[in-house]
Amino acid sequence: MNKFLSSIFTASLALLAFTAIAQVRIGSSSSFSYSAPKTYEIGGITVEGADNLDEGAIRLLSGLNVGDKIDIPGEETSEALKKLWKQDLFSDVQLLSQRIEGKKIFLVIKITERSRLSRFKFVGVSKSEADDLREKINLYKEKIVTDNLVISTKNKVYAFYEDKGFRSAEVTVNQEVDSLFRNHVMLTIAVDKNKKVKIRNINVIGNTQFSAAKVKGTFKETKEKSYFKPFLHLDTLSKTVIKSVFGDIRSIPNHLLKYGQNHMKLRIFKSSKYLQDNFDADKEVLVTKYNQKGYRDARVINDTVYDIGNSLVNIDLTLSEGDRYYFRNIKWIGNTKYSSDVLTKALGIKNGDVYDPIKLEARLYMDQNGGDVTSLYMDNGYLFFQLDPQEILVGKDSIDLEIRMYEGQQARINKVTVTGNTKTNDYVVLRELRTRPGQLFSRADIIRSQRELSVLGFFDPENMNVIPTPDPTTGTVDIEYMVQEKPNDQLTLQGGYGSGILIATVGVQFNNFSSKNIFKPKEWNGPLPSGDGQKFGVQYNTNGPAFQSFNVSFTEPWLGGKKPTSLTLSAFYSFFSTGANKRAPTSSESLTQEFWGRDKPLYVFNVNRTFFERRGIAAQIGSRLKWPDDYFTAFVEISGQQYTFQNQTFLNQANRSFPTGQVYNLYAKFKIARSSIDQAIFPTLGSEFTFSGQFAPPYSFFNNKDYSDLSAAERFKWLEYHKWKFTGALYNKLFDKFVLYTRVGYGVLGQYNRQVGMVPFERFFLGGDPFSNAVNQLDSREIISLRGYGGSNLSPTNGATLINKYTAELRYPFSLNPSATIYGLGFVEAGNSWGSFEGFNPFDVYKSAGLGVRIFLPMFGLLGVDWGYRLDDREGRTGFPPFDTQRSRFHFTMGMNFGDL
């Protein structure tokens, strides 16, 4: 038995030895000769070393199949190895001959798989940077680690930091065998960012028409590092100036300017870090600037960026400016609708003007100010209109143009559709459009329609698009308006401290309400009925028993559904007291005994209590006008208010007190407004103007009362007055994203009859903070803020009858995302108020300046904070309360306005 087992073991060893000898690498054995290749039929293919890969897939990748006839050595075996290496999946590939049986050969594909990734980590980076890098390098578990993967990962990480200005960043990727998993490695990506690379000097070479400072000034992002060394080389400057005094004295300003440019560079809004992409973009801006000045051949010949140490680089920029060109002859070809003179006038370019390709393109195709040639045609239905300007002759300093055009036929609108309005009903969108089926196509109407949709506030203006689909065969066009809904309902939850008390406010404003679906829950689009463009708001303010205020309003923007006539209904109630109880125990013992028959306190109306109660209702009708243009709207309002107060003091001109009583304020109001702003939240273009008049009936003209003998309570029981206000605001887009906002406002309160006197209500108060407004408006006063000053201390004690205010803000948007619009601002503000026309001077104003930030959240409206610094040192005048001695202060805004001036 032992001999038998020994024989089997010996035979097995011999078989293994034979197999090992038989697996000969093709091409390495003397049995295979390149000079005399032999043809074999593949009898079988086995794969060795495939731990994670499919053996059948490897056979397929090799291109070798059982039954194929191949030459050994030959091209088939060489190609099979190339194909396998090309997959970059293996660190070693061998093609072996296992055995040969006659004309059949049995092959072995022996591979060694590349290591796979088990995990990776970053060293020397922050958590936020690591999160961003993971998205860029796209590494994941089980990914095959190749040399190319390591190199590309390193390059991607370096590019990430180079874009942030770390041009000297050092990145290393280290591999380490993972002992927990077979044939797996761990990658450690180590980063040494070093300092950001900044630009020390930009040396401009070859410029003759533009100064070096002007060339560098055209760059938007590529800026030199700030430095301030006014005394360096001062001795050289002194010598130069002295020489100029006895020589060319007119050159002194140029020497001083050049010295200042070379020794004093201050960078506030832009950094000086070097970014290649920004530099490339700025070079294009520079060439465009030269082109606009007539230098059509200007170009950057060469630029060199070189390190000078301390994470600084210099840039040498070599320019070729070329000659300056001018427009000469402009010829129109193919025009039949308009004459060449009309087109030339619309173009706005004449013989001898500096050659400006940017202006030419704008005046031909799309000028922001309107009136371009394309608008001339497309606003009249010529949708298929085409232009092809050609330079037919380029002289030494002038260019002849030939503008070839195809007018085509006029196109009419076939269908108008809207998509993306998941909440707002179609008819609400379509009624705002200026494009109607059957009308001639007009690009101006499309632009205006986009503006109307943006001003609605229901859609994101950044994601609004219009897609016209023309059909030349029928001469029609389909217009599709693509919109994206944004949240615009607002919830107010705030608390504040003003006028010595704490005030809590809760309110909701639904800006896309649907009243007709209130009792149709199946039609609701969300938790409330919405989609009809109506507005419904409720707000409640309280301090507990001392102060309570409630108001509700509803607006239907298209009354009847056929015309843009709006109807607004509102009601309000407010109550303010000193906190004393409404009823108090009487001090009369006889009344107590008579009523109760025993010694128990009798509570009666508290005559010592101080309170002010106000209630009112209003109805307003508004309509869009077509004259002078269709940006105008007109409003007419009728309102009735009742004031009930006790132990208050309101003073008229004769200083007669009016502590307790009841007053009625019935008035009619008209308002003419014009608004052409491009969007509601952050306007960049357009204007807003408002003129209003408010009139209470002149009761004294027909009630036959002698007001000279009437008490103040009788005199002002029915208020009679007239009130006028004007405001105007302009929005101008300056450079980059900066927007200049300017505003003026005036207000006047007048009287009909001098015997009656000026009413002690409806007056203006300059100054104030938003949290005191709710309390201070109990007597219909209008508080107009002046940032930097305290509450209402710039007006007479009893309020002003004249007021003016001027505002200028420079705004810059940090985010225009509709879910959170954020912008910063710097402001200067001025204003004043007077008790009468005596002493009125619109330029005698209190001034302030400061900074602020605004955040618009759809759920909460506009939130903001301003820091104002008053620029006026004047003391309070006669009749004014003590002047606020605090030099600067913060003002907070939470979904509300400081009056409307």
Least trusted range by pLDDT, from 283-297, 522-536, 804-818? 522-536
Strands (E), 7-89: 24-25, 38-48, 69-72
Which of 417, 203, 493, 461 is closest to 319 using CA atoms?
Answer: 203
| 541 vs 552: CA distance, rounded Å | 12
CA dihedral of residues 280, 285, 291, 297 (deg, nearest 10) = -10
pLDDT at 829: 93
pLDDT at 259: 77
pLDDT at 710: 84
Interval 544-566 mean pLDDT: 89
Interval 643-664 mean pLDDT: 70
pLDDT tens for residues 824-838?
999 999 999 998 888
Q: Report the SS3 class of residue 150.
A: helix
pLDDT at 572: 93
Residues 6+ apart with CB under 8 A from 815: 821, 822, 823
| 778 vs 613: CA distance, rounded Å | 8
| 805 vs 164: CA distance, rounded Å | 44
Residues 6+ apart with CB under 8 A from 581: 606, 609
- Look-up of token digits 């008390």: 501
pLDDT at 588: 52
Q: Which one is predicted more confidently, 898 or 763?
A: 763
Q: Which one is predicted more confidently, 893 or 257?
A: 257
pLDDT at 357: 92
CA distances from 512 to 69, 294, 558, 635, 650 (A): 78, 52, 13, 21, 42
- Share in percent of the chain as helix, strand, coil (round to 5): 20, 40, 40
pLDDT at 174: 93
pLDDT at 884: 47
State the chain's mean pLDDT as an integer.
83
DSSP string, 645-662: EES-----TT-----SEE
pLDDT at 888: 55
Interval 702-717 mean pLDDT: 85
The predicted model scores a pTM of 0.67
Confidence of residue 356 (pLDDT cuts 50, 70, 90): very high
Query: Is residue 414 exposed (0-12), middle (13-18) or buried (19+ Cβ within 10 Å)?
Result: middle
Other residues' Cβ atoms within 10 Å of the Cβ of residue 627? 6
pLDDT at 592: 47
Residues 6+ apart with CB under 8 A from 590: none
Structure tokens at 625: 């006008």
| 648 vs 172: CA distance, rounded Å | 79
pLDDT at 897: 41
Q: Report the SS3 class of residue 75.
A: helix
pLDDT tens for residues 396-421?
899 999 999 999 999 999 999 999 99
Least trusted range by pLDDT, from 124-133, 563-572, 604-613, 627-636? 604-613
Say how far residue 891 (Cα) sits from the centre of its chain: 23
pLDDT tens for residues 429-476?
999 999 999 999 999 999 999 989 988 889 988 889 999 999 999 999
Structure tokens at 484: 């994206």
| pLDDT at 111 > cutoff 90 | no
Confidence of residue 667 (pLDDT cuts 50, 70, 90): very high
| pLDDT at 19 > cutoff 70 | no
Residue 73, preceding peptide bond in cis (omega within 30° of 0) = yes
pLDDT at 601: 60
| pLDDT at 879 > cutoff 50 | no
Least trusted range by pLDDT, from 88-97, 333-342, 498-507? 498-507
Confidence of residue 499 (pLDDT cuts 50, 70, 90): low
pLDDT tens for residues 182-200?
888 999 999 998 888 888 8
pLDDT at 314: 92
Interval 245-267 mean pLDDT: 76
Confidence of residue 522 (pLDDT cuts 50, 70, 90): confident
| 842 vs 802: CA distance, rounded Å | 10
pLDDT at 15: 38
Least trusted range by pLDDT, from 287-291, 331-335, 604-608? 604-608
pLDDT at 551: 93
pLDDT at 621: 96
pLDDT at 54: 85
Confidence of residue 36 (pLDDT cuts 50, 70, 90): confident
H or E stretch at 280: helix 276-292
- By DSSP bridging, strand 299-309 and strand 583-585 are unpaired
The three state secondary structure string of 462-488 is HHCEEEEEEECCCCEEEEEEECCECCC
pLDDT at 501: 62
pLDDT at 355: 94
Which of 110, 84, 106 is closest to 40 using CA atoms?
Answer: 106
Interval 530-539 mean pLDDT: 92
Q: Which one is predicted more confidently, 338 or 894?
A: 338
| pLDDT at 650 > cutoff 70 | no
Share of the chain above pLDDT 90, in %: 40
pLDDT tens for residues 295-332?
999 999 999 999 888 888 999 999 999 999 999 999 99
pLDDT at 225: 80
| Cβ proximity of 779 and 798 under 8 Å | no
Confidence of residue 788 (pLDDT cuts 50, 70, 90): confident
Confidence of residue 16 (pLDDT cuts 50, 70, 90): very low
pLDDT at 537: 93
Least trusted range by pLDDT, from 5-9, 539-543, 801-805, 807-811? 5-9
